[in-house]
Amino acid sequence: MRRMSGRTLPWAPGKVPLMLAPMQGVTNRAVRQVFVDWVRPDVVFSEFMRVRPSADATQRLSHGDLLDAKPHGKGVPLIVQLIGRELEPLVEGAREAQAAGATHLNLNMGCPYGRMNVGCGGGMLERPEELPSILRALRDAVAGTFSVKVRCGYSDPEQIFSLLPVFEDAGVDFLALHARTVVQRYDGAADHSITARVVKATRLPVIANGDLNSVAVARRVFEETGAAGLMLGRGAMRDPLLFERLRGRAPEFAEPQSLIESHAHFLRALARQYGALFGASGNVLSKLKSSLAVMGVSDDARAYRPLKKAKTVEAFCDGVEQLAAGA
């Protein structure tokens, strides 16, 4: 029996939402806030929040994750993503996230790194028989939308077609599809011909994800797949203005100089956000460097060397100003 949730999606009817992808170790609250203030993605995702499995855990989510679950406001919905393995802890984690302010929840069914998360994330696709009860229980526990972010299969890219009825029957509101398999990790290219077939095979809104790194590619994938929306990850970190380029509010092509200006603008704003959040503590330097690491800067880019070598936040910020001055 199909369950129609009828819940209001976290984007306006008829809009093609451009979403900021969840990226563990990168898209923390400060990074998301810089995006929200600057290029306003239509929807932002939290990094995955690990649901503690142990039976004697008094709290399923860490204190830091609960702080991170609060919406950003400014009309940009936050979708909080959970990663876990067992039904009960996941349901309890969903309740804690909502008590901390989360409205929309998402289940990570794609993370390929099992060492810390055995059986979680993409590992869930190895136990498809457990999915109906887990998804239904989460659906019942979540007051706002409940969505999944999934790869197209564990090792078989056709597996997704057997999962679609499970998602529909459980009352999932939409799915974000990273069009690679779990075993593929980040190798090769995302295969959006599968995205197109998934869009045709389900009545659920499908958000296309994977390698949407330029206006040309994102537009082509949108037109060829009929996806309901697009999710940008590494491409958004490399070129935050990609959101605006796709809306026609910034030049279609990112010139090298404009990318450097964007990076300087982004990192300056991020240092300010971190200052406001953590003051002098909180390992701000390593957090700034984590963002820099996914901006696609080549190792021999001289202008970025002072940032990479910086030993203090002050030296990093001086490097940002040098970068801006040289752009």
Ligand X SMILES: Cc1cc2nc3c(=O)[nH]c(=O)nc-3n(C[C@H](O)[C@H](O)[C@H](O)COP(=O)(O)O)c2cc1C
* Site of interaction with ligand X (CB under 6 A): 21-26, 47-48, 81, 108, 110-111, 149, 178, 209-212, 232-235, 294
At 279, phi and psi to the nearest 5?
60, -135
For ligand X, the closer of residues 108 and 214 by Cβ is 108
Tokens 């990076």, residue?
Answer: 263
DSSP characters over 293-320: HTTT--TT-GGGHHHHH-SSHHHHHHHH
DSSP 8-state symbol, 209:
E
Closest CB to ligand X among residues 308, 327: 308
Other CB atoms within 10 A of residue 188 CB: 10
Contact 65, 112 (CB under 8 A): no
Q: CB-wise, 103 or 209, nearer to ligand X? A: 209
Q: What is the CA radius of gyration of the chain?
A: 20
Reduced to 3 states, what is the DSSP secondary structure of residue 60? coil
What three-state secondary structure class fits 178? strand
**Of 111, 120, 152, 317, which is the active-site residue?**
111
To the query of whether residue 111 is one of the catalytic residues in this protein, the response is yes
CB of 186 to ligand X, least distance (A): 7
Shortest separation between residue 173's beta carbon and ligand X, angstroms? 16
Tokens of 316: 């990093």
Distance of CA 38 to the CA centre of its chain: 17
Q: Tell the smallest beta-carbon distance from residue 254 to ligand X (Å).
A: 15
Q: What sign has the CA pseudo-torsion 82, 85, 90, 92?
A: negative
- Give the nearer residue to ligand X in terms of CB position, either 60 or 178: 178
CB of 275 to ligand X, least distance (A): 23
C-alpha 194/C-alpha 158 separation (Å) is 8
- If the CB atoms of residues 77 and 110 are measured against ligand X, the closer one turns out to be 110
Q: Report the C-alpha gap between 156 and 173 in whole angstroms.
A: 24
Smallest separation (angstroms) from ligand X to the CB of 82: 10
- The half-sphere exposure of 39 on its side-chain side, counting CA atoms within 13 A, is 27
Active site residue ranges? 111
